[in-house]
């Protein structure tokens, strides 16, 4: 799998283009979009925190917060 990062990168690129393309029609305000993408995503993900073992590196959390 390690040599096939480029397949995932191409999927990511197409996924991003479809997202931008769809938003051309929906036209949600950029400032709203950033709040939904951030806080909305966090609210959806937060209840699943019990299923994932914490990472023991403090630097990991520091970089995530930065």
Partner 1 sequence: MSVGENRILNGAKTFGAQVTSLIHPLSIAFIFVFWLFLHPHELQEFFAAPTKMSLIFACLLGTTLSLILICQAKANRKALSFLAIGMFCEIFIDVTNKETTHLGAENLISAIYYYTLITSLVAGSINLVAYIKEGRNTKDLISVKDMHYAWFFMSFAILHSCLKTYTMYLTPNPAYVAAIVHAYPVWIMLFNNFNHQKEYTKIKPQYILLLLISIIGLIFLGGHHH
Task: Report CA dihedral (31, 64, 5, 15) to the nearest 10 degrees.
Answer: -20
Tell which residue, 23, 17, 51, has the closest CA to residue 37.
23
Tell whether residue 47 is a contact of partner 1 (CB under 8 A): no
Tell whether residue 32 is a contact of partner 1 (CB under 8 A): yes
Tell whether residue 6 is a contact of partner 1 (CB under 8 A): yes
Contact status, residue 22 vs residue 14, Cβ threshold 8 Å: no
Q: How far is the CB of 27 from partner 1 (least distance, A)?
A: 9
Binding site for partner 1 (CB under 8 A): 1-6, 8-17, 19-22, 24, 26, 28-42, 44-46, 48-49, 52-57, 59-61, 63-66
């Amino acid at each position: 799998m390690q040599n096939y990062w480029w397949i995932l990168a191409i999927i990511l690129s197409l996924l991003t283009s479809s997202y931008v393309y769809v938003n051309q029609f929906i036209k949600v305000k950029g400032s709203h979009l950033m709040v939904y993408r951030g806080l909305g995503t966090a609210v959806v993900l937060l209840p699943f925190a019990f299923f994932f073992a914490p990472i023991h590196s403090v630097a990991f959390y520091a970089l995530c917060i930065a």
